[in-house]
Amino acid sequence: MNKYQFNQFLNKAKRNISYYLQKIPKVTRYLLLSILVIFILQQFINLNGMVLQSIDTGLFNPLQLISYAFLHANFTHMFFNGLAIWMFGSHIENYWGEKRYLIFVFVCIIGAAVTHLAFSNANVIGISGLVFGILLAYGMMWPNRVIMLLLPPMPIKVKYLVMVYGALLLYNILMSRDDGIAHFAHLGGALSGFLLIQYWRKKPPFNKKDKSKKKSNSNIYRVK
């Protein structure tokens, strides 16, 4: 391959990457790029100040309620979180719109952090709390949609996948497993996402206030 052919190859690759990036909804796209860039920075720079620290350590900073989510322990941790955000978050953002989805993202991230701080003294990183919130939201909206799992490679309806993850999460919490995984953060992300959706729907534990408003928002939660 000569220099001209190599430049052609690079230009084509750039166009392809740009094309596929543009197909990802804006909030999801920037979220994925953010966790990738910060993961790369982690390899060269000490970013411990972004880790969610226990309040009683004296190192806690309110900004950590968000910043912790953009750090990851290793490539596998980041990759599978990013894959779930891309697979499920993209559909939700396209359906809800950027503004509503962005609110949901921050509520799940902060909700996961607050729940973890309430029940654990361990430091925590990772955006898995949001992933659990996204998975629950996807299951609420498209429960009968069939997806293909990677491990094991088998088709499954989303509602059953959510049930399995929920059961495993509760099992790990009840068994108080010290496995280095922030199970309470996962619970907090799912719970805060669920409560936000219920608030938008004006359903329990929130009261129905305006029937016309409920009707105007009904398309956001319609089962496909």
Evaluate if residue 93 carries a pLDDT over 80.
Answer: yes
How many residues in total does the chain contain? 224
Domain 3-220: CATH superfamily is Rhomboid-like (1.20.1540.10)
> What is d(CA 90, CA 209) in angstroms, rounded to the nearest whole number?
30
- Site of tokens 């969610």: 52
Question: Which range has the top average pLDDT, 10-14, 15-19, 187-191?
Answer: 187-191
- Residue of 204, 211, 170 lying closest to 187 (CA atoms): 170
Using an 8 Å Cβ cutoff, are 180 and 120 in contact? no
- Residue of 157, 167, 94 lying closest to 132 (CA atoms): 167
Give the per-residue pLDDT at 219: 47
Peptide bond preceding 155: is omega within 30 degrees of 0, i.e. cis? no
Give the per-residue pLDDT at 154: 86
Give the per-residue pLDDT at 223: 37
Give the per-residue pLDDT at 222: 44
Percent share of the chain, pLDDT over 70: 81
Give the per-residue pLDDT at 8: 62
Q: Where are the domains of the chain?
A: 3-220
Assign residue 98 a region (left: φ > 0; alpha: ψ between -120 and 50; beta: otherwise).
Answer: alpha
Residues 6 or more apart in contact with residue 190 via CB below 8 angstroms: 108, 129, 132, 133, 135, 136, 166, 169
Residues 6 or more apart in contact with residue 13 via CB below 8 angstroms: none
Q: With bands split at pLDDT 50, 70 and 90, how would you rate the model's confidence at 10?
A: low
- Site of tokens 């499954």: 156
> What is d(CA 3, CA 20) in angstroms, rounded to the nearest whole number?
26
- Residue of 7, 139, 45, 17 lying closest to 84 (CA atoms): 139
Average pLDDT, stretch 42-50?
93
